[in-house]
Structure 1
């Protein structure tokens, strides 16, 4: 039985992209208040073994071969790096001569065991949502001992040695990082990380959009300011 789940293939920059979730349920090192998946009942930052994935790998391989897939985007329920078979999953995709993009919140990219896994990927997405320590602890509710400083530092050090494409996704949240001081801090973080690509996003989930969403005009202003870095 396969427990991977997929989104419909879509075109991005002329490539057919297949998004795959490799986790059977949410496992993450954060418990963000605005996570569309819900609360983190499994708050972990070490790898965990799930059911045998042989059938899941066979299914994934067949999809790649039978459909026009030109990029696999591992976009999972939580932090995909905690799946103990993620190396095997990436190796299978690469064996089909298809590039891999991996979404990680970025905190684990400072640990050797995860750096080695991430380095196998062609593209890595790291994220940031909070830009003060107080907000980081309050709205992202990380595992005890995590700090915003280390979070940023992990992405900085990772990208210095990474040979692939590092994509930095910034979520603008009303009342938390949409003021001018916050935008200035984000600019400095961008300069530190020096990503290959920047994505600016905002709360789109209807549950959180009303309270935490940014108005179109302000979002455009912020996007222009950050994308000009």
Structure 2
């Protein structure tokens, strides 16, 4: 038995989506205070080897066949690019004739070795949570030396050369990026990155929703502003 974990197949745009986590536990280059997985005990941005990868790949192949998946979504506990077998994982899925969607927080996408891996995917999702440097350091708690400017620049660089569909997921967080100045900054960032699609979301985890969640009316207002003006 492998170490990957899976969500039940669900339908999206008439396709059967198989969502897979390829990390045995949380490995990430951030340590966001609102992460539903919890604290980052393994805060890294270099690739790691994990046990049972051969069995995990065999199991993935069987599950793809048994579930009749039509798209595989790599959505992991942390940053999926940390798994040093991610290239093999993507190749296996592609060899099955299926498209691959990869969720990355986006910081590593500007580095050549990770860019080449992400380029294999049909869809890549990058993220923006906050829009000011102070907030980035305070609540996303990245690896030392990371900056918000570089974060955005990495996604800009990636998308300029990427031939697939780049999706930007923007999380609206109460008290951090829900004011008018921040919304304008987000709009400017969207223009820089120039994604193919935008997803606007909010904090839904019950542990953080009361403090960081956005009220329905304000969330709708911000969503409309971002989705209709880019």
Match of 2:30 in 1: 30
Deviation string, structure 1 residues 1-34 (Cα, Å, up to 9, x no partner):
3110000000111111110000000000000000
| 1:125 match: secondary structure | strand
Is 1:63 aligned with 2:63?
A: yes
Q: Distance in 2 between matches of 1:63 and 1:28?
A: 26
Which residue matches 1:160?
A: 160
**What TM-score results when the alignment is normalised by the length of structure 2?**
0.99
CA contact (8 A) 2:122 2:165 kept: yes
Q: Equivalents in 1 of 2:63, 2:96: separation in Å?
A: 11
Length-normalised TM-score, structure 1: 0.99
CA distance in 2, matches of 1:64, 1:31: 32
Is the CA contact (8 Å cut-off) linking 2:33 and 2:140 kept in structure 1? yes
- Deviation track 1:51-81 (CA, whole Å, cap 9, x = no partner) reads 0311111111111112220110000000000
Residue matched to 1:47: 47
Q: Where does residue 177 of structure 1 map in the other structure?
A: 177
Q: Is the 8 A contact 2:3 2:52 kept in 1?
A: no
Over residues 36-62 of structure 1, what are the superposed CA-to-partner deviations in whole Å (9 max), with x where a residue is unaligned?
000000000000011031111111111
Runs of 5+ consecutive residues of structure 2 not aligned to the other structure? none
Aligned to 2:221, what secondary structure does the other structure show? Answer: helix
Q: Corresponding residue for 1:196?
A: 196
Report the RMSD for the aligned CA atoms in angstroms: 0.5
Partner of 2:2: 2
Q: Alignment partner of 1:137: what SS?
A: helix
CA distance in 1, matches of 2:56, 2:97: 18
Q: What's the counterpart of residue 221 of structure 2?
A: 221
Residue-pair matches, total = 229
Instruction: Tell me, in whole angstroms, the C-alpha distance in 2 between the residues paired with 1:56 and 1:174.
Output: 39
Structure 2 distance, partners of 1:206, 1:184, is 28
Give the secondary-structure state (helix, strand or coil) at the position aligned to 2:77: coil
Find the residue that maps to 1:142 and give its secondary structure.
coil
Q: Secondary structure of the equivalent of 2:200? A: strand
Once the two structures are superposed, residues 86-121 of structure 1 have per-residue CA deviations (whole angstroms, 9 ceiling, x without a partner) of 011000000000100000000000100000000000
- 4+ residue stretches of structure 1 with deviation over 2 A? none
CA distance in 2 between counterparts of 1:55 and 1:106 reads 28
Aligned residue in 2 for 1:143: 143
In the aligned structure 2, how far is the partner of 1:114 from the partner of 1:161? 13
- Tell me how far apart the structure 2 counterparts of residues 179 and 14 of structure 1 sit (CA, whole Å): 37
